[in-house]
Structure 1
Amino acid sequence: MSRPQEPQRPLFPFGNPFRSISPKGSKLPQKLSLTLNDFEESLAGRLKALEPKVADDVLTFSWLTSAMNSLCETHKDVKNLISALELPVCDWEDKWIDVYLDISVKLLDICIAFSSELSRLNQGRLLVQCGLHNLESHSPKQYIRARSSLDGWRNQTTSKNPRMESCFSLLDSLMGSLDLPKVKNSSKGRVLMRAMYGVKVQTVFVCSVFHASLSGSTKNLVSINVANSFLWASTFTHLLTSVNSGIRSRLASGRAIVCKELEAVDVNIKELYPKDGVNPDSVDGT
C-alpha cells in the first residue's frame, strides 16, 4: 500500500502577500513575461543609475533633476507597456481605472506644489543677482538696495510654502495606495498591475526625496519593503537606504537648508551681509 503524499507546504506560510499581483498557480504566457521582464529590468537599471557615489550627493539639484527625469522615463515605459499589451481601456476593470486616475490626480497636485516652490527659488535667485549687482557699486545708496535684496532672500529661505505643506497628506495617500487591486482572470491585467506597482514605488520615493530636499523635513521620507520577486527590488532597497540615511544625517547635523546649492548661497550671503556696515538712516533717498 503506497504512503499518502504529504501536503505541499506553501511558499509563504502566512499567505502570499503578492497574490493580488500574481495569483497562486498563475503563469504568464512567454510573450507577456518577456514584456514584463523588459520593463522591470529597465526600471532596475534606472534606479541603479540614481545611486549616489557619496550619500549626500543626493541633496543637489543635479541629482534631483536626474531623479525626476528618471521618473518621467518610467512613466513613458508604462505607457509603452500598455500599448504593447493591446489592452483597450474599455477592457480595463473599473478598479484599475480608479487606481490610475487616483495616482494621476495626486501626482499632478504634487507637481503643482513642487513647481510653486521652484518658482519661489527662482525669485530668490533674482534677488541674489540683484544684490550682487548693487554690491559692485561704491555708492551707499546701491549698498542699501543690495541689503534690501539680500534681506528678501533670507526672508524667503525662512518662510514656508503652504503648497509644499499640502504634500504631506498627498504623499501619505500615495503610500497608502501601494497595494494593487486583485486580478483573477487576466494575464495582461496582472502584467499591468505589476508594472504600475513599480511606477508607484518610484513615484512615491522620488517625490518624498524631492519634498525633503526642498522643505528640510524628513516627515515624508518613505520606507517601502519590496518583495524579492521583483527584478528591481534589491536595487531599490539599496538606493532607498542610501538616500534616506544621507538626508537624515544632514538634517541631524543641524543644517536648516538641506539642498547643497541653496546652503552654499546662504553661507556666502551671511559672510558678506551686511558688507560695509552702512547705516540706512545716514543716507538720503533710496
Structure 2
Amino acid sequence: MSRTQDPHKASFPFGNPFRMILPKGSSLSPKLMALLKKFEATLDERLKKLKPTHKDDVFSFSWMVLAMQLLSETHSDIKSLITDLELPVYDWDDKWIDVYLDNSVKLLDICIGLSSELSRMSQGQLLLHLVLRNLEGKSSTELLKAKSSIDSWRQHIASGNGKIENCIPIIDKLMESLELPKIKNSSKGKVLRRAMYGVKMVTLFVCSIFVSAFSGSDKKLIDLQVSGTPLWGEAFINLRACVYGEIRNSLSSGRNVLLKELEAVDISLKEVYPILQESKEPVNFDALQKSFTDLGKTADNLSSGLDLLTKEVDGFFQIVLSGRDALLCNLRVSSGVFDSPKKYKREEEQLAR
C-alpha cells in the first residue's frame, strides 16, 4: 500500500493554465451565451448526480460505471456543441488541432491501460471459479485445491499492472495542456475554449480517480483548481472533496484495496481460508456452507461489475476514437487547413499502431 500523500501538483513550464478563460469585459451574443450555458448547466447536473450519497458508494463498480458514463456523455456533448457553434474544423487554429490530436492519443492510451487492468481482474475470476467448484466437492483433496486456488488468487491480484503505472505520466502531460492555446480572438472560439476546459477538467478527474482505484494509491490525485466561475464549478469542487476525502480515509485506515467488490471477495476468502487450514480435523461443513454461499455472491457481484465497467470503458474508447477519426477525415477534405499532409499522415499512422 502506498503512503497517503498530498495532492499531486503538476508543473507548468508555460505559466499557470488556471487563468480566466473569458476575461472580464468579454461579450458574447445571446445565442452563444445560451449554447455555453446549456453545456455548462448539463455538466453541472451530471457532476451533482455523481456525488456519492454514501461514502461506501465511492469505488463501487456501480459508481465507477456512472463516472465513465459521465465522461462519455460529456465528450459527446462537446461534439454537439461544435456542430451547434457552426465552427467547422477549417476554422480551428492549427495549434488547437495539434492539442486535440495529441490529447486524443493520450486518452486512448489511458483507456488501454484501464481495459488491461479490468481484463487482468477478469482473468482472476477463473481462480475464484476453481475455489467455488472445489469447495462444492467437499472432499479433502478438493478442499486442499480450493486453498491453493485462494493463494493463487491473492498472488494474482497483488501482482500489479505496469500499464496502470504508465497512465501516471500520461495524466501529467494532459495536465500541461489543460487549456487550449489563446490564438483566435473569436466569440465562437472563446465558447469552445471554455467548454473544452470543462471537458478536460472532468476527464482528468475521472482518469486520476480510476488510476487511484486500480493501483490502491492516492499518489495520482490531482489538485485540480477551477478557474473562473463556470456553472459546474461548485459541483466539481464538492465532488472532488467528497471522493478524495474517502480515498484518503480508506488508505489511512489501513485498507490496501479500494474497489468495494474486490474488497468484499477478499473478506469472504478470509472467512473460508481458516476453515480450509483446519482440513486435517473434521471440517465444520455448516460454517463452510455459509462461507461458500457468501463467497459465491461476492464473486458474482465482482464478475457482473467487471463486465459493466469494461463495457463503459470500451464505449468511451470508441467515442474518443470516432471523434479523432472525424477530425482527421475533415482535415483530409478541408484544403484550407490540410496544408501539412505529412504531419497528419503521421497522426493516422500513430493511431493505426
TM class by smaller structure? 0.7 to 0.9
Provide the alpha-carbon RMSD of the alignment.
1.9
1:178 corresponds in structure 2 to 178
| Same amino acid, percent of matched pairs | 53
Q: What CA distance in whole angstroms lies between the structure 2 residues aligned with 1:46 and 1:62? A: 15
Could you list the runs of 5+ residues in structure 1 that have no partner in the other structure? Answer: 1-14, 280-286
With the length of structure 2 as denominator, give the TM-score of the two structures.
0.71
How do 1:16-31 residues align onto structure 2 when only pairs under 5 Å count? 18-19=19-20, 21-23=21-23, 25-31=25-31
Equivalent pairs, count: 264
Say if 2:72 is the partner of 1:85: no
Give SS of 2:65's match: helix
Once the 2 structures are TM-superposed, how far is the Cα of residue 90 of structure 1 from its aligned partner? 1.4
2:106 corresponds in structure 1 to 106
Q: What CA distance in whole angstroms lies between the structure 2 residues aligned with 1:56 and 1:138? A: 34
Once the 2 structures are TM-superposed, how far is the Cα of residue 56 of structure 1 from its aligned partner? 4.0
Once the 2 structures are TM-superposed, how far is the Cα of residue 226 of structure 1 from its aligned partner? 0.7
**Greater share of residues in helix:** 2
Q: What CA distance in whole angstroms lies between the structure 1 residues aligned with 2:19 and 2:204? A: 19
Q: What CA distance in whole angstroms lies between the structure 2 residues aligned with 1:24 and 1:66? A: 35
Q: What CA distance in whole angstroms lies between the structure 1 residues aligned with 2:38 and 2:237? A: 20
Amino acid at match of 2:112: I
Q: What CA distance in whole angstroms lies between the structure 2 residues aligned with 1:24 and 1:99? A: 26
Give SS of 2:275's match: coil
Q: What CA distance in whole angstroms lies between the structure 2 residues aligned with 1:275 and 1:128? A: 17
Q: What CA distance in whole angstroms lies between the structure 1 residues aligned with 2:91 and 2:172? A: 30
Q: What CA distance in whole angstroms lies between the structure 2 residues aligned with 1:39 and 1:218? A: 31
1:189-215 Cα offsets, whole Å, 9 max, x none, are 111111110000000001111111111
With the length of structure 1 as denominator, give the TM-score of the two structures.
0.87
Say if 2:67 is the partner of 1:67: yes
How do 1:225-264 residues align onto structure 2 when only pairs under 5 Å count? 225-264=225-264
Q: Given that residues 82 and 192 in structure 2 are in contact (C-alpha distance below 8 angstroms), is that contact kept between their aligned partners in structure 1?
A: yes
Say if 2:294 is the partner of 1:273: no
1:234-263 Cα offsets, whole Å, 9 max, x none, are 110011011101001001101111111111
Could you list the runs of 5+ residues in structure 2 that have no partner in the other structure? Answer: 1-15, 281-353
Q: What CA distance in whole angstroms lies between the structure 2 residues aligned with 1:215 and 1:16? A: 28
Q: What CA distance in whole angstroms lies between the structure 1 residues aligned with 2:78 and 2:158? A: 39
How do 1:65-214 residues align onto structure 2 when only pairs under 5 Å count? 65-214=65-214
Q: Given that residues 216 and 257 in structure 2 are in contact (C-alpha distance below 8 angstroms), is that contact kept between their aligned partners in structure 1?
A: yes
Q: Given that residues 205 and 222 in structure 2 are in contact (C-alpha distance below 8 angstroms), is that contact kept between their aligned partners in structure 1?
A: yes
Closer, same or farther in 2 for the Cα pair 1:100/1:78, shift >3 Å?
same
Q: What CA distance in whole angstroms lies between the structure 2 residues aligned with 1:145 and 1:86? A: 64
Give SS of 2:276's match: coil
Q: What CA distance in whole angstroms lies between the structure 1 residues aligned with 2:52 and 2:124? A: 28
Q: What CA distance in whole angstroms lies between the structure 2 residues aligned with 1:208 and 1:133? A: 37
Say if 2:218 is the partner of 1:218: yes
